[in-house]
Structure 1
């Protein structure tokens, strides 16, 4: 059960059907609410997905039919409709082919998202229906569910036990980049759960090197609804170009199912949340809308694109009045810089430069042009999409919060405190930051040479420290820098082991 999240719907429930009656739909409740499905043949499944232009709900919006076809082209598959098997039932020869894997990507590393946790926690059988539909159509029984939260893992394991299906649950590390498809595949394969750094198509080589169909949790649930309703009834909600509904996480805590084509202002009104000075759409790799843009925005790819936004993974974060917008943006940019995999220059050096430019702007000493220049350096050249997504977040903020930025530039402050209203993970106690003991520092500059990502020298040769958590991939380098500081002035504040303040 997902007790901490409020769930509602606009225009009638589909994915959230039965949520008004049950905290969690076990197998019996699921069958009573959604019924028992028949699995269409692969050709029919592709046709249905194409007819409603089904897109992945994980953020990228890739056409599901194309992904399904790409995997199917590499394996043998059954051609006839089949019945979805349930506990105790036996099937005949279902054309099983164990050289393909279906992966449900339940990683939800972004702090502002809760929809997948809600689906896995409250309607796990709807997700498993979708996964079994795809697996059966492809002729395989290999299904893997990759999840982050303890609650989701317990719910999914219980549902798998009820169905007696041979599916596997893999726990993922809760990191911002953990939901990237390559990182999920690497985690399942027992490797370091970070993006691979090079483009590897899961349809060609995924889990254990086999062709793999990987999609977001909601995508599989939507597929089950599509098969249950049929394309015509499925398309009775939404718009002509974008049929159906989607799940949104509003304000980090409220999950809403809404049809495509719903005005954003109606979603905010439904959740009783004012737009404030700006609304972030698409999450921390999304874009900020100013109040005028938020008033015109429509929940669809085309509608969001018209105002410079994106639906992305369905994350909507209105910024509350009374907190410093630039301070909130800088706080999140600092988090994103620390969450990188550290595999390429745009992440190792580019993102820290973005944070430095934002900090300078906060203090009235920097310029908007400095921020734009720092954000543009690594765009399109990263080992994954993290630098581009972070740049989109920052550059859209520069456009949305011009009045606040002007106040900082000309007055050194906007007069507002930064209250940290945008959601971030709860600290684990392992976070550490680099600090300088100024009573000891003699300006040797060795620290800036050893960890240039975190420390740079000012014009007088003294270190300037980036105020962000130490990324996990830099911990060894930071320890080396602390040990080699000639004046013993460099230290790590917070984190473990070693207590709240440790130095060489």
Structure 2
């Protein structure tokens, strides 16, 4: 297995390992050209919408931007109205802990654009919007270069790039649609899914970069060859960002079904420590849960967790889970769109309470503060203009559930994990 250094992280360089499907052929030479791409992948052959839907169902393709919604169902919804449609490729990746989409666009951008081409041909579209991360200039440049290599013939797809303003919520689907529409790159309350009514009120298929890369891969290989990786229940692979919000982070492609502990150990992390799954809006797994879980949506669901955008944050030696979670919540409170009460008032209050929790010095104070945190998470959940308050509350509730005994240890003046 080879690896290369890429400027894909929110804070700079991450290590990118080659993989079996989407990252095959990735090497230290860094050749992401269309010419090199065609040595590995064929020019996409035109598929109908029913064919794409059938392939997507066969491999269980879900959105890889965080929501994990079945792609086939989203595509079906976008075509049911019969109206003119819009197509958006979302490469924006606003979370600091995620670098997998940026790594993909730096190493294999044409696989993503092949997926977009398949959809554009099937939907009879000649214009595709591409949302790119404003805070990752190397990624923006790579996408621009890849688009420049694509066919410019009379029937070619035209790609229009839109650069986000940066920040955690800037890559959220509604925020991306707002930006493309010429408004502030911030989320808004939307009661109707974009697949029914999105950009300009049209049915809009907004898909994550990795999702489209998988669509291109299964279209080229066929469902049977694609399913050589993964399991019968979960064919294929996932791109994962591991500790990518700081130095030493990496991105790799792992088959579904691999034991989490085995994968973490391979990457140089201690599998006998807690793991935050799903990123800054994710769920904590205890060390015992990590050692008994595989890279499988169904397996993770046993512990109330999901992969989301494929972010894994192993707790490093010396880290305190209470302090680490508090630092994330403090960051998230600063990333609010300030368009609703739960974000404007609730998240700063929640961050303050979480920051105080590791410093409690009496059991009475600890119980009172834990009760206050539970009250705040209840107040912000389900009341925001977007899912940002809900995700933050999920992280905090997971901390309380997983590390409840640790609060008492802090009262007694020590931390089990430091």
TM-score (norm: length of structure 1): 0.74
Match of 1:260 among 252, 256, 260: 256
Q: Does 1:5 align with 2:9?
A: no
Match of 1:242 among 203, 215, 234: 234
Deviation at 1:301, TM superposition (A): 0.9
Matched-pair contact (CA < 8 Å) for 2:94–2:166: yes
Q: Which residue of 1 aligns with 2:275?
A: 279
Match of 2:292 among 292, 296, 302: 296
CA RMSD of aligned residues (A): 1.9
Match of 2:191 among 184, 191, 199: 199
Q: Residues 124 and 69 (structure 1 numbering): CA distance in 2 closer, same or farther, change over 3 Å? A: same
Q: Which residue of 2 aligns with 1:379?
A: 381
Q: Which moved more, 1:333-342 or 1:375-384?
A: 375-384
Q: Which residue of 2 aligns with 1:251?
A: 243
Q: Which residue of 1 aligns with 2:170?
A: 178
The runs of 5 or more residues in structure 2 that have no matched partner are 8-12
Deviation at 1:415, TM superposition (A): 9.6
Matched-pair contact (CA < 8 Å) for 2:330–2:352: no
Q: Which residue of 1 aligns with 2:10?
A: none
Q: Does 1:126 align with 2:111?
A: yes
Counterparts of 2:6 and 2:192 in 1: how far apart (Å)?
35
The runs of 5 or more residues in structure 1 that have no matched partner are 77-98, 418-504
Q: Residues 68 and 337 (structure 1 numbering): CA distance in 2 closer, same or farther, change over 3 Å? A: same
SS of alignment partner, residue 138 of structure 2: helix
Q: Which residue of 2 aligns with 1:79?
A: none
Matched-pair contact (CA < 8 Å) for 2:272–2:288: no
Pair member with larger Rg: 1
Matched-pair contact (CA < 8 Å) for 1:276–1:318: no
**Greater helix proportion:** 2
SS of alignment partner, residue 51 of structure 1: helix
Q: Which residue of 1 aligns with 2:329?
A: 333
Q: Which residue of 1 aligns with 2:122?
A: 137
Aligned residues, how many? 392
Summarize the alignment of residues 450-489 of structure 1 with structure 2, pairs less than 5 Å apart. Answer: none
Counterparts of 1:375 and 1:277 in 2: how far apart (Å)?
26
Counterparts of 1:288 and 1:396 in 2: how far apart (Å)?
6
Counterparts of 1:308 and 1:277 in 2: how far apart (Å)?
18
Q: Does 1:362 align with 2:358?
A: yes
Q: Does 1:39 align with 2:43?
A: no
Deviation at 1:349, TM superposition (A): 2.1
User: What are the Cα deviations for residues 301-357 of structure 1, in whole angstroms up to 9, with x where unaligned?
Assistant: 111111232111100000111133211111111111111112222222222222232
Deviation at 1:40, TM superposition (A): 1.2
TM-score (norm: length of structure 2): 0.89
SS of alignment partner, residue 291 of structure 2: helix
Match of 1:225 among 191, 195, 217: 217
SS of alignment partner, residue 178 of structure 2: helix
Matched-pair contact (CA < 8 Å) for 1:182–1:200: no
Match of 1:18 among 12, 15, 25: 25
Q: Does 1:66 align with 2:76?
A: no
Deviation at 1:32, TM superposition (A): 0.7
SS of alignment partner, residue 195 of structure 2: coil
Matched-pair contact (CA < 8 Å) for 1:24–1:121: no
Q: Residues 263 and 415 (structure 1 numbering): CA distance in 2 closer, same or farther, change over 3 Å? A: closer
Counterparts of 2:138 and 2:82 in 1: how far apart (Å)?
35
Q: Which residue of 1 aligns with 2:100?
A: 115
Matched-pair contact (CA < 8 Å) for 2:262–2:271: no
Q: Which residue of 1 aligns with 2:310?
A: 314
Counterparts of 2:242 and 2:109 in 1: how far apart (Å)?
21
Counterparts of 2:182 and 2:411 in 1: how far apart (Å)?
48
User: What are the Cα deviations for residues 35-89 of structure 1, in whole angstroms up to 9, with x where unaligned?
Assistant: 222121111111111122211111111111111111112337xxxxxxxxxxxxx
Counterparts of 2:417 and 2:81 in 1: how far apart (Å)?
58
Summarize the alignment of residues 155-174 of structure 1 with structure 2, pairs less than 5 Å apart. Answer: 155-163=142-150, 164=152, 165-174=157-166
Deviation at 1:371, TM superposition (A): 1.9
Counterparts of 2:235 and 2:80 in 1: how far apart (Å)?
27
Deviation at 1:276, TM superposition (A): 5.8
Q: Which residue of 2 aligns with 1:454?
A: none
Counterparts of 2:195 and 2:400 in 1: how far apart (Å)?
38
